[in-house]
Amino acid sequence: MKTMATADFKANFSSVVDELKRGNKVVISYGRKKEPLATIIPQSQLDKPDYSVQLGDLEKNAWTYKLKDFDMSADEL
């Protein structure tokens, strides 16, 4: 994981893209104390949606996004 100040991020954006292509996270820090402001992660590391929830009558008019650690049954929903 690479940490960059906002000014470095702005000046070296192409190196940030290279880090993301390699699968590394990039933390953007801000201010004198270099407090973490944001973390950019590669798309491949995001949770994939689980479309197993049945919507009944709303099936053609809505969609759901269920996280991996979501443990509520369809009946409870």
- Return the ∠ at Cα 47 (arms to 70 and 36), rounded to 5°: 105
| Residue at token pair 């049954």 | 73
In a domain, 77, yes or no: no
| Residue 57 pLDDT grade (very low, low, confident, very high; cuts 50, 70, 90) | low
In a domain, 66, yes or no: yes
Contact indicator for 44, 20 with CB cutoff of 8 Å: no
In a domain, 76, yes or no: no
In a domain, 23, yes or no: yes
Report how many domains make up the chain: 1
Report the percent of the chain where pLDDT is more than 90: 38
In a domain, 28, yes or no: yes
Residue-range definition of the domain harbouring residue 17: 1-70
Q: Is the pLDDT of residue 13 over 90?
A: yes
In a domain, 75, yes or no: no
- Tell me the pairing of strands 2-5 and 26-30: parallel
* CATH code where residue 56 lies: 3.40.1620.10
Comparing 4-8, 29-33, 59-63, 71-75, the range with the smallest average pLDDT is 59-63
